[in-house]
Structure 1
Amino acid sequence: MTSNESDQKLLRDINHELDRSCDRLDAATLSQLNRIRHEAMAVSGQTFTPWRVFAASTLTACALVLAVNFYLNPADTGSTEELALSELEAMEVLSADESLEFYEDIDFYQWLSMNNEL
């Protein structure tokens, strides 16, 4: 027996067993199932209104634009070495003996040292 034949036999057996179990349902359960089936069919027959279609397509387009944007322009957080150096520099400034006024005028001191070399 091939796999396809065994699958077909299994489906027939399952279908037969489900049919037998439906035959054993009482009238109240059958009535309730029938009512639920009719309610589901009534709901499924409703069509989409134009604003729902527009809202769904707009949301889909926005999600697509965001996904493409994140894919093409990933956030540049810098390398871990750069982050470690900036943290090290901050620790040096905090633990240094110089006053904060020195660090406020550091650009001037750098300019002065560059001009003295010339």
Structure 2
Amino acid sequence: MSPEGRNERLAAMVKEHLDARADALDDRTAARLRTIRLQAVESAERKMGWFRFPRWIAVGGLATAAVAVLAVSLWMTGPRRESTVATADDIEIVAAQEQMQFYEDIEFYRWLAAQENGG
């Protein structure tokens, strides 16, 4: 037997059982349950949220809008990848390992040039 057939058979058995239990209720309990059900349905119909929609639609719409705003903001502010190397000259400096001593002492050479130009 296929899973659909088993599910239908199970649903039919459950329905029969529930119908039998509902028929076995005394009149007072059945009337009370009917009254409670009607009150619940009327209460749900009266409760309106924003813009004359039922409350669950208004809350669901608000939640959907919040998720959409969050998704768009995360998409628009993605991680920015900034290059650590700014120009082609910087690439040459990093690539030329033999000139690294010069660039490590560049402050000294600037000071020396300032002294020569000043005096």
TM-score, normalised with respect to structure 1: 0.49
TM-score, normalised with respect to structure 2: 0.49
